[in-house]
Structure 1
Amino acid sequence: MNKKRITSKELAKLAGVSSATVSRAFSPTARINKATREMILSIAREHNYQPSAIARTLHGQGSRLVAVVVNTIANPCESEELDTLVHRLQDCQLMPIILCCAAIEDRLPLMRLASTYQVDHVVVFSDMFSADDALEIFTGIRPIMVTLEPHHHPDVSTIEIDGSAAAEEIINKVVDDGRKHFAYLAGRESSWIDQKRKEWFENALNARGLSFEAFGRGDYTYDAGFKEAIMLLRRHKIDALICGNDVMAIGACDAARRVLNRNVPEDLAIIGQDGIAMAAWECHDLTTLAQDHVKFIDTVIDLIQQASNNEEPAQRVKLTCTARWGTTA
């Protein structure tokens, strides 16, 4: 049978210290004598005591909770970034609340429910949740918006991704290799970042006197890349295919090789976007417009720490992508 938990006041009485000293004992960054901390923690374990995050909030100490709004955790790119973010938050003694938006038509009630937990920070990776909604629902918190359409609200920090230079590098190499007929396999129509990705490559093609001759649309999945690539390649004479993400590009490679007997990259170049770990596997070895996911999450953590200081203004950070060369282009 579990022992009955004691309160912080009871723990302080047993340890012969003040309640403030008990609170410092459970804060890794607080200054407290090592022997005193160990004594308090020992008594706490003996009497099944755990500090209450809810009580911290009631006393104005913050909940240490971070609402993380994503489209889905099934997408490899988002799951890789989320895995890194969760570990970094835990290293900072912060706890994430993960909110997945993609399968929910009315997302605002979910966000309002999360706001009742008195979160200290909100990081929005999803392009289905606006900055205005974040400001209205998570009152008193400076939202951190990433992969969304740029805005200039003074109370919102933003991370902007720029892949224009990397797209130009990829197009120049592929065109110099003799490619002339390009197609683009896009993702979700409502995605602003997907529109920007297509624009980066369009501008690079235009600079070489070329343009996309065909377009397809998928949903960022392997199946979509596989099926849409078959239709594009059967209907159009294409020698280079740019995909909206790496997963669709991997599906497109398999479709070209296994169904249409196209040689990649000999007569068809295929390029992805994201730079996920899977793209670098030897069985795929995909050429991709890659984002530095570790630097990306480091920037998110920096913005969270800056937001903790209310005197710091909102930040706007731009991160650039790079070309990661594989054997598909």
Structure 2
Amino acid sequence: MNKRITSKEIAKLAGVSPSTISRAFSGDARISERTRKRIMSIADEHDYRPNAIARSLNSHRSGLVALVVNSIENPCEGQQLQYLVQRLQERELLPILLCCAGYDDKAHLMRMASAYQVDHAVIFSDMVSMADATQIFRTARPIMVSFEPISDPNISQLVVNGSKAADEVVAKAVSDGRNRFAYLTGRNSSWIDKQRKRWFADALARHGLSFIAESHGDYSYDSGFKEAVVLLRRSSIDAVVCGNDVMAIGVRDAATRVLGRKVPEDLAIIGQDGVNLALWECNDLTTLALDYAAYMDTIVGFIEDQALGREGAATVTHDYFVRWGTTC
């Protein structure tokens, strides 16, 4: 193996100080663009790249952010992560992505990431134990996203509220003559899934109504399709609220293609998440949506506060809004 050239050797070749080499690679504005380009040219010629591990030992900062998610197959999580990863990279922070779906020992998965001395940890997954996450990432002051609110001075929390949006959707559906509502859940173990159902149950109760049927999916298109066939054949339903948009699209396809129901004339369908897929003309779904840019910016703000050493926990709530389509 060829011996790697050092920053001191690059500095000597470029006729500058070692600190100037460091500034060139960090984007420091204190050196001219002409000097930066000359240093980069010499570095490329000698296959030099700065040693991030050595730099982290000196600064006690790794620049790593653990992102603990359920699955990147989920359009909602993928959409969120695309924006968040871009924002982190703009700040020269590198994400470590941990996908919990299909992995039995999720605590071990988080310990593997923590071994790299991550500076920050953002927990999106509802498949992990909150106690495990806070213990394993305790030095990183974990950021919990859409978990059941907890009182912990070392944890920042991002929570969501869809009660007003659910009220708006239910009021519209009831005014259109709907009075036989069903709910298609995603995962019963999920705190946020229970919250989503409660928003709509409370909204219905204000009109003297309740869900007359319920079915259980797994957030996938297939589960939405299959459960809808059984649910709609078994009960006289005129509105289905789904735990996410992907299942709602499955419900719409089952209703129209298999059962011959017209949407929204015979059946109203409401999703939740507001993913880009729901906007497609072929779907045009009525859904509870979030301002994902503002949502992810809150996480970035938490990370920046931590990096600046600001103490104290923070809890920020984001409200869903209704994105109207043609399914309700």
Q: Which runs of 4+ in 1 moved over 4 A?
A: none
Q: Which residue of 2 aligns with 1:211?
A: 210
Q: Which residue of 1 aligns with 2:257?
A: 258
Q: What is the letter of the counterpart of residue 273 of structure 1? A: Q
Q: Which residue of 1 aligns with 2:175?
A: 176
- Report the 3-state secondary structure (helix = DSSP H, G, I; strand = E; otherwise coil) of the residue aligned with 1:67: strand
CA distance in 2, matches of 1:32, 1:318: 42
- Report the 3-state secondary structure (helix = DSSP H, G, I; strand = E; otherwise coil) of the residue aligned with 1:213: strand
Question: Gapped runs of 5+ residues in structure 1?
Answer: none
CA distance in 1, matches of 2:316, 2:8: 45
Task: Kindly report which structure 2 residues correspond to 1:1-329, keeping only aligned pairs within 5 A, or say none.
Answer: 5-29=4-28, 31-329=30-328
Contact conserved, 2:224 with 2:251, CA < 8 A, in 1? Answer: yes
Cα deviation code 1:187-223 (max 9, x no counterpart): 1111110000000000000011100010000000001
Shift of 1:33: 4.0
CA distance in 1, matches of 2:129, 2:154: 13
CA distance in 1, matches of 2:188, 2:45: 57
Q: Rate the CA distance shift 1:224–1:109 in 2: closer, same or farther, 3 A.
A: same
Shift of 1:65: 1.2
CA distance in 2, matches of 1:11, 1:326: 59
Q: What is the letter of the counterpart of residue 7 of structure 1? A: T
- Report the 3-state secondary structure (helix = DSSP H, G, I; strand = E; otherwise coil) of the residue aligned with 2:59: coil
TM-score, scaled to structure 2: 0.96
Q: What is the letter of the counterpart of residue 151 of structure 2? A: H
CA distance in 1, matches of 2:34, 2:258: 69
Cα deviation code 1:11-42 (max 9, x no counterpart): 22323333322212211245334444333223
Contact conserved, 1:155 with 1:314, CA < 8 A, in 2? Answer: yes
Query: % of aligned pairs identical?
Result: 59
Cα deviation code 1:255-283 (max 9, x no counterpart): 11111111111011110000011111111
How many corresponding residue pairs? 328
Shift of 1:87: 1.4
Question: Gapped runs of 5+ residues in structure 2?
Answer: none
Shift of 1:3: 7.2
Q: What is the letter of the counterpart of residue 164 of structure 1? A: S
Q: What is the letter of the counterpart of residue 6 of structure 1? A: I
CA distance in 1, matches of 2:197, 2:165: 13
Greater CA drift, 315-324 or 3-12: 3-12
